[in-house]
Each structure stands twice: as C-alpha cells, then as structure tokens.
Structure 1
Amino acid sequence: MEARWRLHADDPRRYCDTTRAQTLPQLFGSAYRTYLIEGEAIGLVNWRQMRPFKTTLRLVDPDLLCNPYDAADEERLRGGVEITRDGVARGYHFRRGHRDSAWPNVAEAMSWKRIAREGRNGRPQVIHFFDKLRDGQTRGVSRLAPIVERLKMEDHYSRVELQAAVINAILAAFIKSPIGPEMMEEMFGEGDGETFLNYQSDRAAFYGGRGGVKLGGARVQTLYPNDEIGMVSTARPAAQFADFEAAVLRHIASGLGISYEQLASDWSKTNYSSARAAMIEIWRGWTARRVAFAQGFCQLYFMAWLEEQVLDGHIALPRGAPDFHTFWPAYARAKWIGPGKGFVDPVKEAQAAAMRVALGLSTLEEEAAELTGTDYAENMEQIGREISAMPEGMLHPAQESFAKLLGPAVAGPAQTSED
C-alpha cells in the first residue's frame, strides 16, 4: 500500500493533481496555507479514467463556494453549503467562474454547479475542512480576521515613514536667500518689482554659469553674495518607529499563534531558554492544528484513493478479511508525518529524545517524526542497506551502544566503565 501511495503522491508527472500542477504533498501544503489564510480548505475528489491512478484531487478557491445567484442564506442553505435537518452538510454549490477574474465570463460567473458531499458507498467527493467554533457554523473564519486592522496600521505607518525618508533624501540641501518677507513687501509695495526680477535674474545667471575657483583641479563652489546653504534633517525613520513596529508585530504574532521572533525573524534579544520555551508552546498549537487538518482533509482523500486500489485489485485484502466498505476507516487508518520541529540545541535535544525512548515515554518512530519529519521505517531500511555496504570490521554509527548517546545522566550509581 505504501509503495503504491508513493508512486501516486510523488509522481513528478503530477497525475494526482487534476490540473497537473503539483504533487500530492504540494497540494496538501497549498490546502493547508489556504486554511490558515482563509479559514477553510476545499478540495474536489475527481475521477480521471485515462490516468495511472484514476483518483485525483482539485483544490477550489473558497470564494467559489456561495449560494446560487448570490442569494441570502436560508435555513437549509448557508454560504453555499446545503445542510439537512440535522445540520449535516450534504451538498455544495460552486460558482463556475470567479466574478473578479481578469477574463470576465458572465455565463460562468452567474452559473453554479451542485456537488454532493459523498458519492456511492460514501466515497468522498467534496472535502471541506475548517475549524468549527460554534454550533450551526458552515464556513470557516480566517485566523487573520482579528488582526486585519493592526496589519493595515503597520503597513500604513511603514509607507508614511518611507515617503518621509524619500522626501528628505530629495530635499537634502537648499540655498537660503537673504531676502526676507519684509524686503519682499517693501519691494512690491513700492511698485518696484523690476528690482526683484533683476535680482533673481542675476542669481539664476550666477548659479547657471560655470564659474568658481579651482584648487588642484578640484572645483570649489561659490555662492551668490549673502546666500547660505541649509541642510534638511534626515532623522528617518522616526525614533519611535522601531518600538511601534515591534508592538504591532507582537499583536499580530499573538493572533497567529506564533512568537514575535518567528514573525519578525528577530532573534537578537532571545536566549536559548526563551527560544526553547516559545518553540514548545507554539509547537503544541501547530501540532494540534496539523493533526486536525490531516484527519479532516488528507485522510479523506487517502480513503478515496484506497477504495480505488482495492476495488481495482491493485491492493489485495488478506483471505477472510472483513468487508472493505464496512471497515473502511480501519483499513485506511494512517499516521501523517509533517515537517520536523527542528533543533535549538541539537545535542541536548537528541539526548533528551533518547532518554524519553529509554524510559518508555516515547518511541523511535514518534521521535523521528517529531524532530526530523522522517519515517522511522524508511530510516531503518536505509540504515540496513548502509550496514550491508560497510567493509568488514567497520561498524555503522547506528550499531554503537545506545547508552553512549544517553551519557552519564542515566547511568546508575553502581555502574562503572567496566560494566
């Protein structure tokens, strides 16, 4: 089963995608990002007869899920989701074309298609995943909704600071004329505007000429009599800009469920203990969301794919096995592995993982998945091949005593080096 799944999911020809644009891990990643931004992820399980694996996945923009003809919500139709008396989603109405697309097609933008949630034998046809926050909710809510105002504030303030810095750079210096408001009023009040015009013409001719004193080939610029050079202060960004931006980013990070350091990529004020504590707290929330997404989105597609493989005879059930559709969830039960947590201190965390396994608090499979995002079974197969390729008398690192990795922290008081 795993071998055929890898053929399907990792095929570089991308037959698993209805649009042939992404591999299956990429599709799941795109769906998860859509869920984080829009609050929901939608996929259609299609059937393409001419492909090596007929089951394919098509991601759908949540904007296309809406009531036909943009009608108001009703008791049994809310946000494009058709529900039963018990509140079960049984059908979805999709707009055939986005009304804000660059190639407007009125016929498609004003036509809808209804797709049932499940097909024959309960085969998933529409996968709709979102966090249900209250009873009766049929659509997801974006995690960015509570922080949209702060995002706009930070963006607007940054733009204003940038504009001010550009203006300061353009007007870096200027020349001050000795003629003040009193002299201007005196000139024009007596009707002697010609004197002022002559004065300005002389200044323009002076600055427009190529005159000046040269010392050693270098030109020394001279000013018109009584003129002065003034400089514009370039104190940009403002002194409070960094503090304001940090405060806004902290609010945004709190709304997203991550740390300020991760959002701003600013680790200058963080030590190991703080970074480790923040990672543990954040990882707990991300793990919960990732597990929920795997069960509510990825698992449904895997069930549809597995049904095809069993019914077509590519995967044979053991003799005397229970009926497939009766025990479908049990046959399709799987553990989904995502990206690893990574390391702050690789040595300490590897030792801690070994200690958890030694004390029975965890397993090698769980530690491999959590720390590095790898499959322990595949790791063991590869290590077996590496050991067989080793020259005689040479030991593979994995063959060393497991206790050496733990160090003296778990050694008993009666243990000696000879033991």
Structure 2
Amino acid sequence: MSQELGAWMPHREHPDSELAAARDPITSRARDLVRNNGFAAGAVQRETDAVIGAQFRPAAKPDWRALGITREEASEIGEQMDTAFRLWADDPLHGADVTRTQGWGGLCGMAYRTGLIDGDALCVIHWREDGPGPFRTCLRIVDPDLLSNPQNRPDSPTMRGGVELDGWGAPVAYHFRREHELSMFGWGQSHIWDRWERELPWFRPQVAHFFERHRDGQTRGISRLAPVLDAMKMQDKHSRVELQAAVLGAILGLFISSPLSPEAVSDLIDDGKFTALDEARQALGKERGLIFGGVRLPVLAPGDSIESVNVQRPAGQYQMFETAVLRRIATGLGMSYEQLAMDWSQVNYSSARAALVEIWRGFMARRREFASRFCQPIRLAVIEDAIDLGLVRLPPGAPGLYEAPGAWMRAKWIGPGRGFVDPVKEAQAAAIRVALGLSTMEDEAAELSGADYSDNLGQIEREIEQMPAGVMHPAQEKFATIMGVQGPDMRPPSED
C-alpha cells in the first residue's frame, strides 16, 4: 500500500490466459531482435553452441538391475543402441530429416534455437518407407506458428494453443496448420489443420514438444528473451543514435562562417544584390588560391572564416551505461556479461573460473531437460526402428522395449565440453577427482572436452599398437606422473 507500489496491481490469471495474448507480439519482437541485434543473435548462438553444439549424442546406460540382465549384457546392448543411433544420426544422405537438408546435429540445434526464441520446440516423428538407408524414422522440426486451434477457435478446457488435452490435462494430440497463415504461397493449405496424436496405441512417440514449464496448467511456452526485450531494444536504439551522432560529427567537422547577419542578407535580396554576391563567392571558390610549402591555402570571401564543430557525442558515459545494460540482459538470459559482450578485458583467472562454473551449471540443467523431454522420445522411436531392423537385439526373457522404456532408454547425453580456463590446473583437478572416486574418466572426458571415453579408449589402443618398438605411448605412463603428482598421497614431485 506504499506510495511507490500502491498503483502496481497486476492481475492473476491462468498461465495459458496470461501467455496467450502476449505470445505473438513477444515472439515477433524476439525474432526481430535476433535477426537485427548483434548481442541478441550472439547470445542465442552461444547458448545453442554450449548446450547442443554440432554433435549431441547419447551414451546408452541400460539399467541392468531393473531389467534383470547382467551388466555385460546391458553393456553390449548399450553399444548396439549407440551404434544404431549413430547410423541414423550421421547418415550422409540426411535420411533423418524429412526435408533431407541436415543431420541430427542440425535438427537438434534448430529445435533448441527455436525453443529459446519462440518458447516452443516441436518435432513430428514420421515413418517413411521410401527414404534413403534402412531406417524408416525421420523428423520434421515444426514452426511453432503452425500449432494452433483448428479454424482459429478460442481456447477451451480441452484445446489450448493447438494442444488437445485429456481429462488429466495431459497432451493427447497436436493440431498443425499445413502452411503458415501469412505464407505468400499455398494459401488454401493455411486453412487446413492436421491432427497428430502424441503417440501411437503402443506408445511410439509421434510428436515431441519441449518448453519451459513454469506453472501448473501451462500448455505452451514463452520466449526466453521476454524478460529482457525492453532492455535489448532500448540498448539497440541508444547504440544506433550514438553511432549516428559520431558519423554526423565526423562528416560535419568544419564549416564556413559568414559575417552577414540575417537582416543584411534580407536587405541584399531586397536590393537585388544577393545574386551578384553569390556568383562572386562561387567564382572565388573556383580559384586555385595560394600554395605555400605544398599546402593549399583556401581563398575565402572577405569576412568569412572556417570554424570547427565541437562534437559532444558519443557521450562520455556511454560505455559505462552500455555495460550496465548488458549486465542486466546477461543476468536475464542466464549467462555472464563477458559471454554476452565478448569482453574479457577485465577478467582474471578466479573470476573467469567462478563465472564458468556458475553459467555451466545452468547450461547443464537445460541440456538435461531438453534431452529428457525432446531428444529421448525421438531416440525411443529410433531404437524401436533399430530393433525391428535387427540392429539391436534384446536378450530372451528380458522385458520388451515398451514394457520398461525407462530402463532401456536410460542414457547420458553428451554435448560440447565445458572447455578450459587453465588446461594444466583443470586436468590435474580432474585426475584428483577420479583418484578419489568423486568422478569417472568417462564423466571427465564428456564434461571437459565433450569426448566419448569409449571412442578415446579404442583410439588409444590403436595408437599403442602403432607405436614403434621401444617407444611408449603417453597413456601408458603412470597416471599420477602425467598429472604432475606423485604417489597415492598426491604429494607434489620433488625439485630434483
């Protein structure tokens, strides 16, 4: 009830009602910023690169205890699943994509980028018999604008934003326009909707839908840029105005000042003498003038002088102001100012390391959530296809794929590594964590460099075989010695 907050009375509404009216303008503004604002485009690209990267792949970890099989059987089946998924994902003919324009990495990155900008990442999982390669499973990443209520009907308890719900509030089907309502072609198709069930009767996924769900009952997502749209737009306007001022100041650096007052000019016009004076000025301007020491001296009319423009812009406080605004934007996006502005001039090792740890925690949370809700349903459909093709063979007596999907589909998704601030210190820290049982070599390889530890071991084995006689591979050296430590007590090596 204070004077400052008394007039601030926002309404409380259902989450879908709050977002429905705001979704279209927010999405349009977010797309415009990402197209035309360097900071917005860079922020979206850097998060997509950090969370998804070029190769987002699973490492299968079937739960052998829950499945009642041995650890060895689970390991063998996991390798079969990973091999089958790689065959599908890395197909050079791009059979995984209905449009056959990109592979799994491109599809996954586009979906995450769309989810970040628009709020929804949507994928329809098709079964195509005439595609290239053995797999029949292929994907289409769907524009969220196509997900809408048939015939543009208003939302209802069982239909919200194109998502059909059951009595429990769970999605059972999705309604997509065949063509964008503002498309310049295929106008008739924009008034036809296709209904896609979420999954087939035996639970094979047909639609994957990812969005950040903040409240119970929320059916669609909202752009992650929404909280900082105003700050980004104002910063963009401010930067443009300051740049224009600097350019105009450079262009209009000098001017010629005349002693004639407005009244004198008016009298000359009345007497008919202004034309003669103007012609005399132009003739004088065409003269070469005097040259002294190779420098041309301008010849001006009597009383004229050359003046300079005192440019006061860009403002002296502009850099500090822009930094403050970008810090606010970076906080809203869940990244550091240095990442957003690409300004590392004021960073030391400690602050860079602290920022990396904090930001990476958020990236890993988004990676796990996106993998669980978007990538895992797609992987389930691919593995079903692989089992049907005989590429994955489940052991006799074990539960079927859809009898225990959680146990069979258990996996760790590997994306880009965290990278290094100080490679030596971080490698030593990784070695200590592994030695103390706090981590594993597989986890460290995935986190630091995004590598597959099994692939690393296979490559190291081949390299050892290829080493000349009497030459030892670095991986064969004692682990502690390589890491700069000595003995199980982790004492540093002596000066000798």
TM-score bucket of the superposed structures, by smaller chain: over 0.9
Q: Does 1:162 align with 2:243?
A: yes
Q: Which residue of 2 aligns with 1:57?
A: 139
Q: Distance in 2 between matches of 1:254 and 1:416?
A: 43
Preserved contact between residue 303 and residue 329 of structure 1 (Cα < 8 Å): no
Q: Does 1:109 align with 2:190?
A: yes
* Residues 415 and 227 of structure 1, relative CA distance in 2, 3 Å threshold: closer
Which residue type is aligned with residue 15 of structure 1?
G
Q: Which residue of 2 aligns with 1:245?
A: 322
Matched ranges for 1:116-265 at <5 A: 116-184=197-265, 187=268, 191-192=270-271, 194-207=272-285, 209-215=286-292, 219-265=296-342
Preserved contact between residue 44 and residue 59 of structure 1 (Cα < 8 Å): yes
Secondary structure in structure 1 of the residue aligned to 2:109: helix
Q: Does 1:90 align with 2:168?
A: no
Q: Which residue of 1 aligns with 2:96?
A: 16
User: Once the 2 structures are TM-superposed, how far is the Cα of residue 43 of structure 1 from its aligned partner?
Assistant: 0.4
Q: Which residue of 1 aligns with 2:63?
A: none
Which residue type is aligned with residue 475 of structure 2?
A
Which residue type is aligned with residue 95 of structure 1?
R
Q: State which drifts further: 152-161 or 257-266.
A: 152-161
Q: Which residue of 1 aligns with 2:424?
A: 347
User: Which protein is bigger by CA-based radius of gyration?
Assistant: 1
User: Once the 2 structures are TM-superposed, how far is the Cα of residue 288 of structure 1 from its aligned partner?
Assistant: 0.5
Q: State which drifts further: 250-259 or 198-207.
A: 198-207
Q: Which residue of 1 aligns with 2:111?
A: 31
In the alignment, which of 342, 346, 365 is matched to residue 442 of structure 2? Answer: 365
Which residue type is aligned with residue 126 of structure 1?
V
Secondary structure in structure 2 of the residue aligned to 1:369: helix
* Residues 47 and 200 of structure 1, relative CA distance in 2, 3 Å threshold: same
User: Once the 2 structures are TM-superposed, how far is the Cα of residue 327 of structure 1 from its aligned partner?
Assistant: 1.8
Which residue type is aligned with residue 91 of structure 1?
A
Q: Distance in 1 between matches of 2:486 and 2:301?
A: 82
Give unmatched runs, 5+ long, in structure 2: 1-79
Preserved contact between residue 354 and residue 405 of structure 1 (Cα < 8 Å): no
Secondary structure in structure 2 of the residue aligned to 1:124: coil
Write out per-residue CA displacement over residues 82-140 of structure 1, whole angstroms, 9 at most, x where no aligned residue: 00110010010111111223x24321122211110001310000000111110110001
Secondary structure in structure 2 of the residue aligned to 1:225: coil
* Residues 413 and 122 of structure 1, relative CA distance in 2, 3 Å threshold: closer
TM-score, normalised to structure 2, is: 0.79
User: Once the 2 structures are TM-superposed, how far is the Cα of residue 320 of structure 1 from its aligned partner?
Assistant: 2.6
Q: Distance in 2 between matches of 1:284 and 1:197?
A: 76
Q: State which drifts further: 147-156 or 157-166.
A: 157-166
Q: Which residue of 2 aligns with 1:71?
A: 153
Matched ranges for 1:276-287 at <5 A: 276-287=353-364
* Residues 297 and 370 of structure 1, relative CA distance in 2, 3 Å threshold: same
Which residue type is aligned with residue 201 of structure 2?
R
Q: Distance in 2 between matches of 1:218 and 1:176?
A: 22
User: Once the 2 structures are TM-superposed, how far is the Cα of residue 6 of structure 1 from its aligned partner?
Assistant: 1.4
Q: State which drifts further: 350-359 or 315-324.
A: 315-324
The alignment of Structure 1 onto Structure 2 pairs a total of residues equal to 412
Secondary structure in structure 2 of the residue aligned to 1:252: helix
Secondary structure in structure 2 of the residue aligned to 1:394: coil
Q: Which residue of 2 aligns with 1:310?
A: 387
TM-score, normalised to structure 1, is: 0.93
Which residue type is aligned with residue 6 of structure 1?
R
Q: Which residue of 1 aligns with 2:414?
A: 337
Preserved contact between residue 83 and residue 89 of structure 1 (Cα < 8 Å): yes
In the alignment, which of 349, 361, 365 is matched to residue 272 of structure 1? Answer: 349
Identity %: 52
Q: Distance in 2 between matches of 1:386 and 1:69?
A: 63
Q: State which drifts further: 227-236 or 66-75.
A: 227-236
Secondary structure in structure 1 of the residue aligned to 2:484: helix
Q: Whose RCO is larger (CA < 8 A, sep 6+)?
A: 2
Q: Distance in 2 between matches of 1:130 and 1:253?
A: 21
Secondary structure in structure 2 of the residue aligned to 1:395: coil
Write out per-residue CA displacement over residues 221-278 of structure 1, whole angstroms, 9 at most, x where no aligned residue: 2211111011223444221221221111111100100000000000001111001000
Q: Distance in 2 between matches of 1:16 and 1:73?
A: 34
* Residues 414 and 230 of structure 1, relative CA distance in 2, 3 Å threshold: closer
Which residue type is aligned with residue 84 of structure 1?
D
User: Once the 2 structures are TM-superposed, how far is the Cα of residue 313 of structure 1 from its aligned partner?
Assistant: 2.4
Secondary structure in structure 2 of the residue aligned to 1:360: coil
User: Once the 2 structures are TM-superposed, how far is the Cα of residue 380 of structure 1 from its aligned partner?
Assistant: 0.3
